[in-house]
Structure 1
Amino acid sequence: MVSPSSRESHFLPSWSPRTQPLPALAVAGVGPVALALARRVLAERDAALARWSGVAGPGVLVLLGDAESLPWVDGVVYLGRDAAAPSLLLPCTLAPNVAPALLDRALVARARVGTPLAVLPRSGHLVPVGAARPVSRETLGTWLAKQVGP
């Protein structure tokens, strides 16, 4: 797992419910939800961890994998890809109030980091997930310990 993350809340549009949910490709948590997600993942068997890749940063965790394998904890956001915004992973159940293609171009230009970008509207995080690495129990445990502190 790698640890890129940025906050761009002032640049994200407003969102409304999506009429047709996107298929999930990732799951993300921020703050206490990220910690709960990490604990949930660490409780899994090694075979489950092998199905996921991820990125983590200060207070944010994003896991990528097959929809049926992605873990759930209260408060996570499932992310998917809108064909009109191929560089972004957007919330499965929310649609931006601007054309997805315009959002894609604007966020990629603004972020100036690798793609795809996981877009987390509630917290304002844009998380580059292109450098996601296989989930390692040791790496995730170290990340969790740093988040929780001494």
Structure 2
Amino acid sequence: MSAAPLSLRWRRRDVPLPAAAVVAADAVVPGLRADTLLRVTAGAHLRACAGREQGWLIVLGDRADLPWADGAVYLGWDGGVLVPTLSQPWPCADLLREPLRHLTDEPAGLIALLPGLVLTGPLPQEPLDPRWLAPA
């Protein structure tokens, strides 16, 4: 997963998006990793990708299975891009999706758009192996 700075305008959504993922950075990652491990061990079907050198972790799954960590941000799908459930970028995600595709080598790659930042990488397809959650 790679990270790049990006400056956009954001506004609060009138209706939140349904959560499809959760993202954590830096000091929040260990808490998200720990709750993800608990949920996967209990049978939750989650997928994840990380930019370990950049200090990011994104966990994808059904809303009811998503882990929680204080300081993590829930994301929802908007035009094929993950954005914070409570925020809407301008220009809209539909218009940003294709220009942002050049940041990932994968045609169906993951794009997560956050205030001030875009995260890209392969979209995880396989269920999360608990061993993957071991601290780096």
TM-score by length of 2: 0.84
Q: What is the number of equivalent residue pairs in this alignment? A: 132
Change (3 A) 1:133 1:56: farther
Q: Percent identity?
A: 33
Verify: 1:69 aligned to 2:65, yes or no. Answer: yes
Give 1 or 2: higher helix fraction.
1
Change (3 A) 1:41 1:100: closer
Q: CA deviation at 1:21?
A: 0.7
Q: List alignment gaps of at least 5 residues for structure 2.
A: none
Change (3 A) 1:57 1:116: closer
CA deviation string 1:12-60 (max 9, x = no partner): 4121211111111111111111121012223346233x41011112211
CA distance in 2, matches of 1:31, 1:134: 24
Q: How does 1:131-150 map to 2 (within 5 A)?
A: 131-141=124-134, 144=135, 146=136
RMSD: 1.9
Q: After the TM superposition, list the runs of 4 or more consecutive aligned residues in structure 1 that deviate by more than 4 angstroms.
A: none
Match 2:105 to one of 113, 116, 121: 113
Q: CA deviation at 1:128?
A: 2.3
CA distance in 1, matches of 2:77, 2:38: 28
Give 1 or 2: higher strand fraction.
2
Q: List alignment gaps of at least 5 residues for structure 1.
A: none
CA contact (8 A) 1:81 1:89 kept: yes
Verify: 1:34 aligned to 2:29, yes or no. Answer: yes
Equivalent residue for 2:9?
Answer: 14
Q: CA deviation at 1:66?
A: 0.5
Equivalent residue for 1:51?
Answer: 45
CA contact (8 A) 1:118 1:128 kept: no
Give secondary structure in 2 for the equivalent of 1:106. Answer: helix
